[in-house]
Amino acid sequence: MRAEAQISHWQVTAYIVSLILPTGILFVPSIAAQSAGPDAWASLLVALPCGLLVAGVASALASRFPDETVVEYAPKILGKFLGKAVGFIYAFYFYYVAYYVQRQFAELMSSAYLVKTPEWVLIVVFTVIACYALYLGIEPLARTNSIILAILLVSITIMCLFVIKDVHLDNFTPVLAVPVGRIVFGALAPSSWFTECAVILMLVPFLADKKKAARATAYAVVITFFFMFLVTICAIGVFGSDVVARMVFPTFSLARTTRFELVAMFDRIDVLFLMVWVAGMYFKLITFFYVGTLAFAQLFGLPSYRTLIIPGGILLTVLSLNSWNNMTELLEFSGLVFPPSLIFVNFFLTVLLFLLSFRNYPTAQREVKHD
C-alpha cells in the first residue's frame, strides 16, 4: 500500500504539534505540579531532551525505509512473526491514543460546557466527523490543520500575554528546592507526550521531501515544548503550584481568568480558546485514527484503509465509553498509566527497531529499492 498523497515537511511539523499540544496542555501542568510543585517548569526542561531523542531515533529509523511505514518494515527487521506482533502493537497504540482523546474531549465538554449532554452523544458525534474526514485522505487534512494550529498557537499566546500581570513570582520560590527525584518523576508525563512525535514512523512515506523528516520532527518537539512550558509557567504563576496540582483542567481555568477589557465581545476569551482547542483535539483524533486504520490495513494486507474506517470508528467509540467509569479514573490513568505506555511504544520499541535495523539494513534497503 503506497502513499496516496504528498505533504510538505512544514505540514508534518504542524501535524505533530497538533498531536501533542491539545492534550498536553490539558493535563501536563497539573501532573507535573503534583510531583515537582513550583519547579514543574524544570520537569519540562528535563523532558525536552527525551522528546528530541525520540524525534531523532524515529526519524533515522523511518529514513532507512522511506517508502514504507513501520508496520511494513518491522517484519524485515524482526522476522515475519515478531515483526507482525510489533506492527500490531503500533497499530493498537494508535487506536489507544485515539479513544483516549475521544474520552478527554467528552469529559471536558460534559463537565464544563455541555453539562446536560450525555457523554456518549459527544463521543459519537466526534467519531462520525472523524470518519468522514478519514475518507478525504491526509493531504486536505494537513492543509486545514496548518490553519487551525496557527489559530491555536496565537490564542495560547494571547491568553498568556493577558495573564502576565497576574503572575506572582513568589509562586516559584524557593527555586529548585524540590528534590531532584521529584523533578525527574514530574518529567515522566511531558516526556511521554513529547514521544508522540514517533508518529513520524507512519508519516514519512507521505513526505514530499523525505530528507527533512528529522528536521520536521525536531521542530515539532521544540514548538510543543515552548507552548507547554509557557502555559505551565503562567498557570503556576497565577494560581500557585498547590492549586494547579489539584485542578482538573488548569489551562481552561487560566483561560477563564483572561479578560480582554478593550473589546467587550472578547470578555470571555476562554470560549474562543475552547473553539480552537476543540479543533486541535479533532485533528489529533483524526491523525491517530488515520494512522491506526492505515496500520491495521497494512497489517492485514488490505488494498485500502477505507474499508476499516466504519468498523474502526465503532471500535473506538466502544472502547472510549467503556474504558473509564468517571473523570477520577481518567485523571488517574492520565498520570499513572498513559505516560509509561507511551514511553514503552514510542521510545523502547522504536529504539529497539532502530538498533536491530543496523543488522538487517542492507537487505531491507535492497528490498525497498527493488520494490
Residue bearing cell 489539584: 246
Peptide bond just before 174 cis, omega within 30 deg: yes
- Model confidence band, residue 90 (pLDDT cutoffs 50, 70, 90): very high
pLDDT in tens, 234-283: 888 888 888 888 877 777 777 777 655 444 445 555 666 677 777 777 88
pLDDT in tens, 307-349: 898 998 899 888 888 878 777 787 778 778 888 888 888 889 9
Residue with the larger pLDDT of the pair 113 and 62: 62
Alpha helices in 209-268 (DSSP H): 213-239, 241-246, 250-256
Tell me whether residue 275 is in a domain: yes
* Phi and psi based region of residue 7 (left: phi greater than 0; alpha: psi -120 to 50; beta: remaining): beta
Report the share of the chain in percent with pLDDT over 90: 11
Tell me whether residue 371 is in a domain: no
Tell me whether residue 365 is in a domain: no
Whole-angstrom CA distances from 96 to 65, 273, 338 are 25, 26, 10
Tell me whether residue 356 is in a domain: no
pLDDT in tens, 198-242: 888 888 888 887 788 888 889 999 999 999 999 888 888 888 888
pLDDT at residue 368, rounded to an integer: 41
d(CA 90, CA 202): 10
* Phi and psi based region of residue 174 (left: phi greater than 0; alpha: psi -120 to 50; beta: remaining): beta
Residue with the larger pLDDT of the pair 360 and 306: 306
Whole-angstrom CA distances from 235 to 122, 192, 232 are 28, 21, 5
d(CA 280, CA 15): 10
**Looking at residues 71-90, what average pLDDT do you find?**
89
The domain of 97 spans 9-345
The CATH number of whichever domain residue 264 belongs to comes to: 1.20.1740.10
- According to DSSP, the residues that pair with 358 across neighbouring strands are none
Tell me whether residue 277 is in a domain: yes
Tell me whether residue 364 is in a domain: no
**Number of independent structural domains in the chain:** 1
Element (H, E) at 308: none
In this predicted structure, the answer to whether residue 354 has a pLDDT above a threshold of 50 is yes
Tell me whether residue 274 is in a domain: yes
Tell me whether residue 218 is in a domain: yes
In this predicted structure, the answer to whether residue 193 has a pLDDT above a threshold of 80 is yes
What average pLDDT is seen over the chain?
A: 82
pLDDT at residue 112, rounded to an integer: 63
